[in-house]
Amino acid sequence: MEWGDQSEEEPREPNQAGGMGTLWSQEISPEERLPVEGSRPWAVARRVLTAILLLGLLLCSSVLLFYIFRNCGPRPCETSVCLDLRDHYLASGNTSVAPCTDFFSFACGRAKGTNNSFQELAKRNKNRLRRILEAQNSRHPGSGEEKAFQFYNSCMDTHAIEAAGAGPLRQVIEELGGWRISGNWTSLNFNRTLRLLMSQYGHFPFFRAYLGPHPAFPHTPVIQIDQPEFDVPLKQDQEQKIYAQIYREYLTYLSRLGTLLGGDPNKVQQHASLSISITSQLFQFLRPLEQRQAQGKVFQMVTIDQLKEMAPAVDWLSCLQATFTPMSLSPSQLLMVHDLEYLKNMSQLVEDLLLKDRDFLQSHMILGLVGTLSPALDSRFQEARRKLSQKLRELTEQSPMPARPRWMKCVEETSTFFQPTLAALFVHEAFGPSTRSAAMELFTVIRDTLITRLRKLPWMNKETQNMAQDKVAQLRVEMGASEWTLKPELAQQEYSDIQLGPSFLQSVLSCVRSLRARIVQSFLRPFPPHRWQVSPWEVSAYYSTSDHVVVFPAGLLQPPFFHPGYPRAVNFGAAGSIMAHELLHIFYQLLLPGGCLGCDTHALQEALLCLERHYAAFPLPRGSSFNDSLTLLENAADAGGLAIALQAYNKRLLWHHGETVLPSLDLTPQQIFFRSYAQVMCREPSPQDSHDTHSPPQLRVHGPLSSTPAFARHFRCPPGALLNPSSRCQLW
């Protein structure tokens, strides 16, 4: 039957085919063909229509979600700075290494050795200085800029230096009274010659004298008398065979210098041999720092008069007055002496030599000056120095130093003597306002994250937590360069006391005197600001305890560690972890025995012991160690710095969307964060430097990463892998 209403006015008649049916004399309307609501066919149709509608909504939602994720998820950063960083990561890393087993090699172990991120960055900064110095810009006559450019060009003019030969140095020797091995000489006036060497040539043959902060009053300068820096790599426990070989090589070098200056070879060798003997005797007088620490005599405060009584060979007042002009010194002036016993023995040796070997003592003093000035002389002197360095490194089992291009030496010399001028030029080009603003923003987030974490440290009581938070809040930060460096007039500063020419050596000596005078003047300022320990183009951050200031030079906040256009993961992982590490230096004293009276000593020591055991579980390169207490503190700062930077990064992602990634690396933002952290530590593994309190680079990567559960999670490290241990430590 057909679907429709039954009309009461239409009679039903028998179907001619023998069945009941309805005979229509007019056409049925479309409305009459619709099914009746509630009937079974309509219910089926409704379910079909609903299913089609839901399917359509689902498809539309999928398209919409795909569009949202495509536009709100991490997008590849394809700017030139990001592509350069991508290429750098590809070139410096080794992705064939399993990241959960050896992340240091994964990030740093390129096919041909290990890259050194800090060395490469330092070289790029010097290249930038080179471009500045070689730019053909007009300079104001007589300005600091013009003199800096003239000095650099004079250093690069090797034709003029070769043409001058040894002439400029012979003139210097004549001013000192000459010497017996060549030409005319006058009998040695020891203190006159010593005074000239110290004040006019910056050479200290028997001890070092320099201005430094007073140990009890950091902003008060004090003249410090320290052990000399010997040109020969001697050691207290040196084997006799090695010592003999070093003696021969150094004798050959000094003889070569004397011959280049016109001396008779036989006479030169005799004087050179006595000079080495004097150096050897002086070296035997030295007392190692460890011995002086054990005796409680790291330094002693004495007056000039008292030092004159104990070491009478030196006219201390006249020598120091000439060296530190315009300071006004008197016999009652206090000095900070680092090794008084050495000075007593040195004085006795000088007195003996003045009685028996006066001419040899004069030659010893002049030969030392010749060695100091040799970089400013022609290629014959520099080649003699290069051969000596090569031989000495072979004897002491050090890898040979790669040859450095001339421009690099000249950049370093120019930046030493014209630091204020070059600092302003470098910062203007490499650390503009937008970069500085981005760096300060990053530091603020890192600092605030540290303050938050301090509130939750279980080994600090509430009072200590509040004091620690106040300490961080009161910290000063100097970003890029010191404030005085950024003053425009410094770039135009005149160096009226510098006289350039007629030879490059004379230019160097004039710059040496000017630099020393500026240093003295800076110490004599009534309320000096914090004196930077690094230049703005250097790559070392530090925290100053005495001034309670943390310093991040512009040279450090450069690619590959920082750039405003980088993904946030890169800036937080690299520069952010460096910033957090330096902030934790504020609290080193708290971690030392008895350093935190308001701490749960047991909980603190347990955390430190756990950290020490955790690091001890990693294999170390040959010849390295980390048992020193300062190394443990640095390990704590590494691990804490990474944790703080990671928390700050995650917090930043909640506030700001639109994170980017580096194209073609197949790394998530979190993986890029850890990759950039490891990039900071990349350098060639080598035996630990005696002055370096940090762990070897592999440990500085693996120790903190293995203490971070998020690393194992984001790199899907299986349980028990080297960087996914069963237990972890947390100090900060």
pLDDT per residue over 199-245, tens digit each?
Answer: 999 999 999 999 988 888 877 889 999 999 888 777 766 677 888 88
Asked whether the predicted pLDDT for residue 65 surpasses 70, the reply is no
> Residue 528: what pLDDT?
65
Residue 712: band (very low, low, confident or very high) from pLDDT cuts 50, 70, 90: very high
The verdict on whether 84 is a catalytic residue reads: no
The pLDDT tens digits for 346-391 are 999 999 999 999 989 999 999 999 989 999 999 999 999 999 999 9
277 and 173 share one domain? yes
pLDDT at 19 > cutoff 70:
no
CA distances from 682 to 65, 90, 196, 685, 696 (A): 41, 14, 45, 9, 10
In a shared domain, residues 389 and 473: no
Cα-flanking dihedrals φ and ψ of residue 721, to 5°?
Answer: -65, 160
Size of the chain, expressed as the number of residues it contains: 732
Quote the pLDDT of residue 686: 61
Asked if residue 96 is part of any domain, the answer here is yes
Q: What's 257-316 look like in SS3?
A: HHHHCCCCHHHHHHHHHHHHHHHHHHHHHCCCHHHHHHCCCCCEEEEHHHHHHHCCCCCH
Q: How far is CA 448 from the centre of its chain?
A: 23
Taking a C-beta distance cutoff of 8 angstroms, is the pair 558, 125 a contact? yes
What would the pLDDT profile of 251-260 be if each residue is shown by its tens digit? 999 999 999 9
Does residue 424 form part of some domain? no
* 441 and 329 inside one domain: no
Lowest mean pLDDT among 419-433, 474-488, 650-664, 682-696: 682-696
Residues 389/401, Cβ–Cβ less than 8 Å: yes
Segment 521-551, tens digit of pLDDT: 888 877 667 888 899 999 999 999 989 999 9
Structure tokens at 633: 């503190």
Confidence check: pLDDT of 34 > 80: no
Joined tokens for residue 182:
């060549």
Is the backbone peptide bond immediately before 326 cis, with ω within 30 degrees of 0?
A: yes
pLDDT tens digits, one per residue of 563-587: 999 999 999 999 999 999 999 999 9
Q: What is the pLDDT of residues 445-502, one digit of tens each?
A: 999 999 999 999 999 999 999 999 999 999 999 999 987 776 766 555 668 899 999 9
601 and 464 share a domain? yes
pLDDT at 622: 65
Residue 278, pLDDT > 70, answer: yes
First to last CA, the chain: 85
Q: What is the mean pLDDT of residues 654-662?
A: 83
pLDDT value of residue 238:
67
On average, the pLDDT of the chain sits at 86
Q: Are residues 254 and 105 in the same domain?
A: no
Name all contacts of 107-115 with Cβ < 8 Å and 24+ positions apart. 107/675, 107/678, 107/679, 107/682, 107/701, 108/678, 108/679, 108/681, 108/682, 108/683, 108/697, 108/701, 113/684, 114/682, 114/683, 114/684, 114/685, 114/697, 115/91, 115/682, 115/683
Does residue 637 fall inside a structural domain?
A: yes
For residue 575, being part of any structural domain is answered with yes
Give me the mean pLDDT over the 660-670 stretch: 93
Amino acid 24: pLDDT = 32
- Reply yes or no on whether 606 is catalytic: no
CATH at 84: 3.40.390.10
- Determine, yes or no, domain membership for 490: no
Catalytic, out of 145, 226, 378, 638: 638
Asked if residue 458 and residue 372 are part of one domain, the reply reads no
Domain carrying residue 310: 168-398
Question: For the purposes of burial, counting CB atoms within 10 Å of the CB of 123, is it exposed (0-12), middle (13-18) or buried (19 or more)?
Answer: middle
Q: How far apart are CA 635 and CA 313, in angstroms?
A: 47
The pLDDT of 101-108, averaged and rounded, is: 94
Instruction: Specify the pLDDT at position 2.
Output: 37
Torsion of the alpha carbons at 513, 519, 523 and 525, rounded to the nearest 10: 90
Pairing state between β 476-480 and 549-553: parallel
Q: What is the pLDDT of residue 153?
A: 96
Confidence of residue 4 (pLDDT cuts 50, 70, 90): very low
CATH number of the domain residue 320 falls in: 1.10.1380.10
Most confident of 29-43, 159-173, 485-499: 159-173
Are 322 and 467 members of one domain?
no
pLDDT of residue 546: 87
The number of distinct structural domains making up the chain is 2
β-bridge pairing 221-226 and 334-337: parallel
Catalytic residue among 146, 339, 582, 634: 582
Q: Last residue of a domain, which of 376, 398, 420?
A: 398
Assigned domain for 374 exists: yes
Residues 585 and 681 in one domain: yes
Q: Residue 577 and residue 409: Cα distance in Å, rounded?
A: 32
Confidence at residue 218, expressed as pLDDT on a 0 to 100 scale:
78
Residues 191 and 107 in one domain: no
Averaged pLDDT, 292-320 = 92
CA distance to 120, 126, 420, 676, per residue, from 123 (Å): 5, 5, 20, 20
pLDDT of residue 468: 95
Q: Are residues 230 and 92 part of one domain?
A: no
Residue carrying structure tokens 């490290």 = 717
**pLDDT given at position 440:** 97
Q: Are 400 and 393 in contact (CB under 8 A)?
A: yes
Domain co-membership, 93 together with 236: no
Residue 599 lies in a domain: yes
**Residues 358 and 220 grouped into a single domain:** yes
For residue 100, the model assigns a pLDDT of 97
530 in a structural domain: no
